[in-house]
Amino acid sequence: MKRILFLILIVSLFGTMAFANGGSDTAAADNTIVVGVSFSDYSTDRWPREAALLTDLGQKAGVQVITQVANQDPKLQNDQIENMILQGADVLIIIAQDGDAAASAVDAAAAEGIPTIAYDRLIKSSNLSAYLSFDNVEVGRAQGRGVTSIVDSGNFVMLGGSPTDNNATLFRQGQMEVVQPLVDSGKVTIVADQWVENWDPANALKNMENILTAQSNNVDAVVASNDGTALGALQAMKAQGLAGKVPISGQDATLAGCKSIVEGELTMTVFKDVRKLSPMAMDMAIALAKGETVPGLTDFTLAQLTLDDTLKGSVPCLFLDVVQVDADNLYDEVILTGFQPYDEVYRDIPEGDRPPRP
């Protein structure tokens, strides 16, 4: 539902406000669906790519897409979401910086009758219309398997993601399903267990430097929760001659991560095909804006999704499959499917050591 009086106020106050990736600072005509997309940040490798994809998908579907980025500031994100509501957004897609803080924005949107989709990161509100993500516990299991298939004993480091991202908790759950039995048997000792604020590679680098110093470099494996944190940790490991010798996991099949795998440093990544996630999110958003039922959703309680029994209510969810990727199947899963470019991934690999060009 469009809010003309609010629109007039916002245009007068924020007429010069710029929106990323082709957004507009005026709402569309009443017969055009307006989709507001709120990103936590663009420093995470995948988000700018998905912002462009969502914008393109919206344009092709004949809807107006407004995108904003909060630069890892939860309050700014909530303010930006409020502005999108005032501008007449019919539906919101939110990539939350903080799953707790963003709940108030979801609740405010629900009070206005505006549906919201939590995109890949859970927002802890039962007022969500949908939570669309990947099987995040399986991501963690894949990371645990990827590391322990190389080394299943000795001193392990656990590098979690951002403590404000519920996905990081679910990754850890899956990781420990694999690692904990080895701890219980006495084969593995977890010598460091740290979380990486904002998923920032620079923070992962600092954390790993401190861990290596404290352990006198006596580290046998690292379970890191995405490619960015893994590559940050690898900088510290490389300085100590450990890169390529100590297995380390990743996630997202980023260009830098895939390149590191073929160069023999990163052990594995988890391929989450966002080319499937973004179209599903846009289709969901348009259906919800029209008041239509979204097929394929299954209700999960917030307690199940967060491992926090104090949270009440449930959320309609759809989770996509993931693929464990290492040097053996990266070419088939990531290159042949066109997710990452052959020339960039194998750029520094001698011609004779490369697989055939697709």
Burial class (CB in 10 A: 0-12, 13-18, 19+), 310: exposed
* Number of independent structural domains in the chain: 2
* 191 and 164 housed in the same domain: yes
Q: How far apart are CA 129 and CA 223, in angstroms?
A: 33
What tokens does 38 get?
């709120």
* 203 and 107 housed in the same domain: no
Task: Supply the pTM of this predicted model.
Answer: 0.85
pLDDT bracket for residue 45 (50, 70, 90): confident
* 20 and 153 housed in the same domain: no
Q: Per the domain annotation, does 224 fall within a domain? A: yes
Q: What is the pLDDT of residue 30?
A: 62
Q: How many other C-beta atoms are found inside a 10 Å radius of the C-beta of residue 151?
A: 18
List the single range of 15-19, 74-78, 302-306 with lowest mean pLDDT: 15-19
- Please name the residues in contact with 216: beta carbons below 8 A apart, sequence gap of 6 or more: none
Q: Per the domain annotation, does 91 fall within a domain? A: yes
Q: Which residue has the higher pLDDT, 6 or 257?
A: 257
Stretch 329-356: mean pLDDT, rounded? 96
Q: What is the pLDDT of residue 97?
A: 95
* 97 and 169 housed in the same domain: no
Q: Per the domain annotation, does 8 fall within a domain? A: yes
Stretch 304-332: mean pLDDT, rounded? 96
On the question of pLDDT at 6 being above 70, the answer is no
Q: What is the pLDDT of residue 339?
A: 96
On the question of pLDDT at 162 being above 60, the answer is yes
Q: Per the domain annotation, does 241 fall within a domain? A: yes
* 225 and 182 housed in the same domain: yes
* 210 and 64 housed in the same domain: no
Q: Per the domain annotation, does 264 fall within a domain? A: yes
* 201 and 294 housed in the same domain: no
> Hey, is 223 helix, strand or coil?
strand
**pLDDT (tens digit, 9 = 90+) per residue, 336-346?**
999 999 999 99
We report the CATH number of the domain holding residue 211 as: 3.40.50.2300
List the single range of 13-17, 148-152, 278-282, 335-339 with lowest mean pLDDT: 13-17
Q: What is the pLDDT of residue 31?
A: 80
* Domain limits for position 294: 4-134+274-320
Q: What is the pLDDT of residue 192?
A: 98
**pLDDT (tens digit, 9 = 90+) per residue, 97-116?**
999 999 999 999 999 999 99
pLDDT bracket for residue 39 (50, 70, 90): very high
Q: Per the domain annotation, does 88 fall within a domain? A: yes
* 146 and 200 housed in the same domain: yes
Q: Per the domain annotation, does 358 fall within a domain? A: no
Calculate ∠ Cα 195-197-200, nearest 5°.
Answer: 110
Give CA separation, 81 vs 193, 261, 264, 283, 343, in Å: 34, 38, 42, 20, 39
* 151 and 224 housed in the same domain: yes
pLDDT bracket for residue 25 (50, 70, 90): very low
Q: Which stretches does DSSP call E strand in the chain?
A: 34-39, 64-69, 91-94, 116-119, 130-134, 154-160, 188-195, 221-224, 268-271, 298-301, 314-320, 323-326
Q: Per the domain annotation, does 147 fall within a domain? A: yes
**pLDDT (tens digit, 9 = 90+) per residue, 174-232?**
999 999 999 999 999 999 999 999 999 999 999 999 999 999 999 999 999 999 999 99
What percent of the chain shows pLDDT beyond 90?
A: 89
* 329 and 182 housed in the same domain: yes
On the question of pLDDT at 8 being above 60, the answer is no
* 316 and 334 housed in the same domain: no
* 330 and 301 housed in the same domain: no
Across the chain, mean pLDDT equals: 92
Burial class (CB in 10 A: 0-12, 13-18, 19+), 283: middle
